[in-house]
C-alpha cells in the first residue's frame, strides 16, 4: 500500500504527464480502410492489422519482395553527347528549353517497385457478428497489436507480433470460454501464386513476382509484366502459415486451415523471397525461399506464446527503451482519454494534448525499428507496408529528399543500428553508380539520381525521354547520401568504419562532383544542367523553365560533401593531396546569393517562381540537413532563409511540413516549429494526391503525403528532436527551439554528435537538471540559454550574442551532471 502511495505522489509531483504511460494507439471499431489499420514489423516482415470481428484482414509484406532483377548497364549510349549539347545550350545560348530537351535524352529506365506479399484472412464462425464491446490497439512500448471484443458473453482476443529474434509473425487467439474458437484461415496474393497443403495444420503460398511494374503515374495498357527473356527478373517468394492448438481440431487443404472448438490458437506466418543481393539474379542465383521460410517456421513453432513474447519484448525493448520523452500535461487532459481517431480530430480542432505529441514522436521511433532492420534494404517510401501492385511512386527509394528524411532521426533518436540498412544500401548504389557515372557522363566516382530500388538503380529515370527532367535528371544523389555516411561517424566516432566504409565512398562521390562541375563565365565552379527538384522558374524572357545552372541546392549539397570529405580526411590523418584539391575546389564553388526580396536565391539568377508556395524548399539544404547556414555563424543568410520560408508559406505535403519543422528549429523559432508540427498532426482523410494543403496524418498516425508516405513520420521525429537538441558545428545546443507549449518537460536518451547521450529536465523553459554521458570521451561544448554548472568541475559559461557557451573535457564512459547556474 505504501509503495502504491509513493507511486501516486510521484505522479502528482511535479506534474501529471511525467507518470503517464500513454504509448498506445487505440480504437473502438475495426479499420475500414488501409490507413485505419495498424502496422507491425520486424524490419523484414510487415503487417497491417485491421481488427475485424467476423472477418479479420492482415495484409502482409516482406521487405525484399520487389519486381525486377539486377540493373542493366549501357542503357543510354547517347547520354554524354546530349550532356555536352545541354551545356552548350545553357552557357552559349541561354536556351533553357533546349537544355531541357537535351536532358530528356540523357535518361535511362524507371526503377522497380516494392510489392505486397499477400493477405491473410481469418473468417470466424459466429452466430452473432455485433459485439457488445470492442477494442483494438497498437502498443508501441511493446510492439504488439491487440483486438478484443465480446459476443454472446464470450470475449475473443487476438494479439499480433512480428518477432525479430524468431523472424515470424505470430497471431495468438483466445476465447474466454472453452471451445469457442471456430474459424478458417486463408491466404491470397495479388501476385501469381498457388497454394499447397503442407500438412494437417499448415499451408504454403508459393509465387513469383513480376519482371516489371510500370510506375503508377505512367499510363500503360500492360503495366505488369511477368515475362522476361533474360530469365533474371521476377523473384520467387513463399508464405507459410501454420496453426497450433492444445484443445481444438485443426485441418488443412488448399483452401486454407480450419480450426474447430478451440480455446487457444497460435498461428505462425513465415515468409521469404529468393532475393540474394542487388547484383545477383534472383532466379538462377536466388536464395532458397522455401528452405529459409521453413527453418524460421520450424524453429519458432516449437516455442510457446509466452516464450515468443519474452524474446520479442527483450529484442524490441533493447532499442525502444533507450529514449523517454514526457511533457507537462494538465490533470484534466480529457483529450488523452479519447480513442486515437477521435483524439486526433479533436486535436486538429484545437484541443491541447502534449501526450499526443510525445506519442507521435515515439511512434516514429517504433516505425523505424519496425521497418529498417534488413541489411541493404532500407525503409522505402512506405517503410515496409504496401498493399498495391503498383504502389504510389513505386514505393521506391526517392533520393531527392524522401529516403534521406527516413533516416534523419536514426542517430539523434538513439537508433543508430537502424541507420545501417541505409548505409549498406549506399555501399550497393556506390557500385552501380560508378558504372552510371562512367557510361552517362564519362566521369569518375559514382552518380545517383532521383530514384533507386532494391537493385541499386542509379541512372536518371524516365524511360529514355519520357520523364520530366525537373526530377528525373537531378544528379545530386551521391553527395547527399554521402552525408549519412558522415553523420554515422559523427554520432559514433567509429574510426574503423570511417576508414573502411565511409571515407572511400564519400571520396568517390567527391570525385564525381569534381568531374561534374564546370567553370562559368566568372570562374566559379557550377553544375550544369542543374535542377531544383520538381520546381520551375520564369527566365529572363518570362518563359517557364526548370533546367539551368548551379541551383542553390546543388551547390549546397556539393559544399556539404566537400566539407565532410575534408573533415574526414583530417580525422583519419591521411590523403592530404586529395584533401588539398577539394579545399581548392570548395573555395571556387558558386556561392549563396540573397535575392531582391531578401530571400535565399534558389536559382543561378534571381528569377520569379511560377509556384511561390511550392512544396519543395530544396535551396534551404544548407540550413537543414546541412549546417552551412546558422544564426550563430551566418546571420545574414539565416535572415534570408527565414524570408524564404515566409514567402513559401506553411502549407505543403506531409514530408514538406516535416522538413519545415526542422528548418524552423534550425532558425531557433520553436513556436513556428511547433505550428508546423501541429499542421503535420492534423487529421486528414485525403485519398488522392494534394500537393498544397493535403498533408497531415491519417487516423493510424501514418503521414499523409497524400497518399501515405512514411517520410513525414520520420521527418517529424527529426524536427521534434531538433527543437530539443542540436549538435552541428561542434557544439551541443540544449533546448535551442523550445516552444512555449513545451515549457516544462523531460527527455532522456537523445544522442548528439561526438557520441554524447543527453538527458534533460526543464521547467519554465529553463534547464533544471541535465546529464551528458560521454560514450567515447573528448571535448564537449554546450550552448545554452542560461549559464550552466557541471557537478564536480570548475567551468565558466561564457556569454555570447547567442546564449552561453560552456566547454569541458570528458572521459570515456563517464556521465556529467548539469544544472542551471541559478538553480
Q: How far apart are the first and last CA of the chain?
A: 34
Q: pTM for the complete prediction?
A: 0.96
Helix axes 354-371, 711-724, angle to 10 degrees: 120
Q: Give residue 778's region: left, alpha or beta (phi > 0; psi -120 to 50).
A: left
Name the residue among 622, 618, 580 with its Cα closest to residue 602. 618
If you count them, how many residues does the chain have?
823
pLDDT in tens, 340-371: 999 999 999 999 999 999 999 999 999 999 99
- pLDDT of 687 above 90: no
- pLDDT of 7 above 50: no
Name the residue among 420, 398, 441, 569 with its Cα closest to residue 491. 420
Q: DSSP assignment, residue 75?
A: S
Rounded alpha-carbon distances, angstroms, from residue 564 to 273, 405, 417, 510, 634? 38, 19, 22, 10, 19
pLDDT in tens, 692-702: 677 899 999 99
- pLDDT of 121 above 70: yes
- For range 196-204, the mean pLDDT: 98
Distance CA 48, CA 39 (A): 5
List the single range of 12-16, 498-502, 819-823 with lowest mean pLDDT.
12-16
pLDDT of residue 21: 57
List the single range of 13-17, 365-369, 404-408, 654-658 with lowest mean pLDDT.
13-17
Distance CA 555, CA 553 (A): 6
Q: DSSP assignment, residue 415?
A: -
- pLDDT of 199 above 60: yes
Helix axes 354-371, 305-320, angle to 10 degrees: 110
pLDDT of residue 40: 98
Helix (H) or strand (E) holding 557: helix 552-572
If you compute the radius of gyration of the chain from its CA atoms, what whole number of angstroms results? Answer: 27
Rounded alpha-carbon distances, angstroms, from residue 587 to 421, 526, 562? 34, 12, 10
- For range 80-103, the mean pLDDT: 98
Residues 6+ apart with CB under 8 A from 30: 36, 50, 51, 52, 53, 134, 136, 147
Distance CA 562, CA 579 (A): 9
Distance CA 550, CA 548 (A): 7
- For range 710-731, the mean pLDDT: 98
- For range 452-461, the mean pLDDT: 98
- For range 141-156, the mean pLDDT: 98
Helix (H) or strand (E) holding 799: strand 797-800
- pLDDT of 1 above 70: no
List the single range of 17-31, 441-455, 624-638 with lowest mean pLDDT.
17-31
Q: Is 466 helix (H, G, I), strand (E, B) or coil?
A: coil
- pLDDT of 231 above 60: yes
Distance CA 628, CA 620 (A): 10
pLDDT in tens, 153-198: 999 999 999 999 999 999 999 999 999 999 999 999 999 999 999 9
Residues 6+ apart with CB under 8 A from 217: 393
- pLDDT of 823 above 80: no
DSSP 559-602: HHHHHHHHHHHHHHT--HHHHHHHHHHHHTBPPP-B-TTSSBP-
| Chain mean pLDDT for the chain | 95
- For range 521-545, the mean pLDDT: 96
CB 158 within 8 A of CB 171: yes
pLDDT of residue 202: 98
Q: Give residue 371's region: left, alpha or beta (phi > 0; psi -120 to 50).
A: alpha
Could you tell me the pLDDT band of residue 13, with boundaries at 50, 70 and 90?
A: very low
Q: Give 22 or 261, the one with higher predicted confidence.
A: 261
- pLDDT of 15 above 60: no
pLDDT of residue 453: 98
- pLDDT of 115 above 60: yes
Distance CA 329, CA 30 (A): 29
CB 545 within 8 A of CB 605: no
For residue 132, count other CB atoms closer than 10 A to its CB: 11
Amino acid at each position: 500500500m505504501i509503495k502504491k502511495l509513493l507511486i501516486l505522489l510521484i505522479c502528482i509531483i511535479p506534474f501529471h504527464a511525467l507518470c503517464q504511460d500513454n504509448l498506445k494507439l487505440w480504437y473502438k471499431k475495426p479499420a475500414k480502410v488501409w490507413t485505419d489499420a495498424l502496422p507491425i514489423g520486424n524490419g523484414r516482415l510487415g503487417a497491417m492489422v485491421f481488427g475485424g470481428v467476423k472477418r479479420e484482414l492482415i495484409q502482409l509484406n516482406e521487405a525484399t519482395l520487389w519486381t525486377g532483377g539486377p540493373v542493366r548497364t549501357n542503357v543510354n549510349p547517347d547520354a554524354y553527347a546530349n550532356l555536352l549539347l545541354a551545356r552548350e545550350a545553357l552557357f552559349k545560348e541561354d536556351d533553357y528549353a533546349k537544355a531541357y530537351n537535351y536532358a530528356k535524352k540523357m535518361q535511362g529506365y524507371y526503377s522497380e517497385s516494392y510489392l505486397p506479399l499477400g493477405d491473410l484472412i481469418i473468417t470466424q464462425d459466429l452466430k452473432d457478428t455485433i459485439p457488445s464491446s470492442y477494442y483494438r490497439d497498437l502498443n508501441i512500448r511493446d510492439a504488439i497489436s491487440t483486438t478484443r471484443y465480446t459476443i454472446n458473453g464470450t470475449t475473443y482476443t487476438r494479439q499480433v507480433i512480428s518477432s525479430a529474434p524468431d523472424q515470424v509473425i505470430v497471431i495468438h487467439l483466445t476465447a474466454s470460454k472453452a471451445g469457442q474458437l471456430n474459424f478458417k484461415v486463408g491466404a491470397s496474393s495479388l501476385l501469381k501464386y498457388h497454394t499447397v497443403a503442407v500438412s494437417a495444420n499448415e499451408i504454403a503460398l508459393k509465387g513469383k513476382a513480376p519482371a516489371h511494374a510500370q510506375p503508377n503515374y505512367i499510363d500503360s495498357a500492360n503495366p505488369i509484366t511477368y515475362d522476361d527473356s533474360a530469365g533474371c527478373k521476377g523473384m520467387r517468394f513463399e508464405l507459410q502459415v501454420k496453426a497450433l492448438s492444445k484443445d481444438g481440431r485443426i485441418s488443412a487443404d488448399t483452401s486454407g486451415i480450419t480450426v474447430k472448438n478451440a480455446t487457444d490458437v497460435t498461428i505462425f506466418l513465415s515468409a521469404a523471397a529468393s532475393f540474394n543481393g542487388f547484383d545477383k539474379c534472383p532466379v538462377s542465383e536466388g536464395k532458397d525461399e522455401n528452405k529459409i521460410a521453413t527453418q524460421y517456421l520450424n524453429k519458432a513453432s516449437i516455442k510457446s506464446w509466452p516464450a515468443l513474447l519474452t524474446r520479442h519484448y527483450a529484442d524490441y525493448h533493447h532499442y525502444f527503451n533507450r529514449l523517454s520523452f514526457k511533457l507537462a500535461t494538465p490533470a484534466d487532459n480529457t483529450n488523452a482519454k479519447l480513442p486515437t481517431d477521435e483524439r486526433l480530430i479533436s486535436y486538429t480542432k484545437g484541443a491541447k494534448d502534449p501526450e499526443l505529441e510525445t506519442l507521435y514522436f515515439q511512434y516514429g521511433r517504433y516505425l523505424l525499428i519496425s521497418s529498417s532492420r534488413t541489411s541493404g534494404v532500407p525503409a522505402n517510401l512506405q517503410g515496409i507496408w504496401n498493399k498495391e501492385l503498383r504502389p504510389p511512386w513505386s514505393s521506391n527509394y526517392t533520393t531527392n529528399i524522401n529516403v534521406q528524411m527516413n533516416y534523419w532521426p536514426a542517430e539523434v533518436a538513439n537508433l543508430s543500428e537502424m541507420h545501417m540498412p541505409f548505409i549498406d544500401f549506399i555501399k550497393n548504389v556506390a557500385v552501380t553508380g560508378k558504372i552510371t557515372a562512367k557510361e552517362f557522363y564519362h566521369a569518375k566516382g559514382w552518380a545517383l539520381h532521383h530514384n533507386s530500388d532494391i537493385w541499386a538503380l542509379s541512372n536518371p529515370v524516365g524511360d529514355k525521354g519520357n520523364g520530366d527532367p525537373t526530377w528525373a535528371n537531378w544528379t545530386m544523389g551521391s553527395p547527399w547520401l554521402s552525408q549519412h555516411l558522415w553523420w554515422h561517424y559523427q554520432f559514433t566516432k567509429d574510426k574503423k568504419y570511417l576508414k573502411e566504409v565511409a571515407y572511400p565512398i564519400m571520396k568517390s562521390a567527391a570525385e564525381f562532383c569534381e568531374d561534374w562541375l564546370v567553370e562559368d563565365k566568372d570562374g566559379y565552379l557550377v553544375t550544369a544542367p542543374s535542377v531544383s527538384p520538381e520546381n520551375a522558374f520564369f527566365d529572363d524572357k518570362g518563359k517557364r523553365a526548370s533546367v539551368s545552372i548551379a541551383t542553390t541546392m546543388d551547390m549546397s549539397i556539393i559544399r556539404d560533401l566537400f566539407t565532410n570529405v575534408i573533415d574526414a580526411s583530417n580525422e583519419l590523418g591521411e590523403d592530404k593531396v586529395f584533401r588539398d584539391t577539394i579545399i581548392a575546389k570548395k573555395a571556387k564553388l558558386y556561392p549563396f546569393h540573397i535575392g531582391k526580396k531578401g530571400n535565399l536565391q534558389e536559382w543561378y539568377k534571381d528569377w520569379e517562381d511560377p509556384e511561390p508556395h511550392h512544396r519543395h524548399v530544396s535551396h534551404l539544404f544548407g540550413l537543414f540537413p546541412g549546417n552551412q547556414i546558422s544564426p550563430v555563424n551566418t546571420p545574414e543568410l539565416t535572415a534570408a532563409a527565414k524570408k524564404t520560408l515566409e514567402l513559401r508559406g506553411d502549407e505543403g505535403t506531409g514530408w514538406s511540413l516535416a522538413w519545415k519543422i526542422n528548418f524552423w528549429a534550425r532558425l531557433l523559432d520553436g513556436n513556428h516549429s511547433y505550428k508546423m508540427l501541429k499542421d503535420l498532426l492534423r487529421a486528414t482523410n485525403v485519398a488522392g494526391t494534394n500537393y498544397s494543403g493535403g498533408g497531415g496524418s491519417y487516423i493510424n498516425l501514418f503521414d499523409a503525403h497524400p497518399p501515405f508516405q512514411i517520410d513525414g513520420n520520420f521527418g517529424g521525429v527529426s524536427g521534434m528532436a531538433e527543437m530539443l537538441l542540436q549538435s552541428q558545428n561542434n557544439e551541443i545546443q540544449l533546448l535551442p527551439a523550445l516552444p512555449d507549449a513545451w515549457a516544462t518537460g523531460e527527455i532522456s536518451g537523445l544522442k548528439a554528435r561526438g557520441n554524447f547521450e543527453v538527458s534533460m529536465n526543464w521547467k519554465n523553459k529553463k534547464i533544471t537538471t541535465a546529464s551528458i554521458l560521454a560514450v567515447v570521451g573528448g571535448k564537449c561544448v554546450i550552448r545554452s540559454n542560461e549559464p550552466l554548472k557541471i557537478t564536480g568541475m570548475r567551468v565558466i559559461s561564457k556569454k555570447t550574442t547567442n546564449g552561453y557557451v560552456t566547454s569541458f573535457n570528458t572521459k570515456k564512459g563517464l556521465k556529467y551532471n548539469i544544472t542551471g547556474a541559478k538553480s
